[in-house]
Amino acid sequence: MIGLLQRVTRAEVHVAGQSIGAIDRGLLVLIGVQADDDEARAERLLERLLGYRVFPDDTGRMNLSTRDIAGGLLLVPQFTLAADTRRGTRAGFSTAAAPERATALFDHLVRCARAVHPDVAQGRFGADMQVSLINDGPVTFWIET
């Protein structure tokens, strides 16, 4: 699985003009599901996201995690992250999981997140979403499992 995480002071997802998920300080994570992903990879990605040290401590060093600061976690499915862009000028999607499988794995990730973290919001798989954020830093990392 792929997680493109961004440290934010605020992030929100809208579908059809309505807010379906929002957080204040925390991580906005765009999630890409690849064909060979499974529940274990989703769970490993979640552990890394919650424990990844991207927030500043008292000295300004990135030593604190989302868990440490009790920050929000906004998970947004993004099919295009799993694209093969190595050749040509148009992305290929043969490396992405089939929609049914990707939906199930994204839902598993969200369920697991809600079981262990108090502030979890989500986007909607397959929807035309508008995502807004205030990237703090900016700080952005690509994480794969």
Q: Which of 6, 34, 66, 78 is catalytic?
A: 78
Nearest alpha carbon to residue 10 among 27, 31, 29, 34: 27
* Rg value, the chain, Cα: 15
Active-site residue flag, 141: no
145: Cβ contacts below 8 Å, ≥ 6 apart: 1, 37, 41, 42, 44, 45, 48
Distance CA 119, CA 74 (A): 8
Distance CA 104, CA 100 (A): 6
Active-site residue flag, 79: yes
Q: Which of 79, 95, 103, 141 is catalytic?
A: 79
Q: Which of 9, 80, 85, 130 is catalytic?
A: 80
Active-site residue flag, 78: yes
Annotated active-site positions, please? 78-80
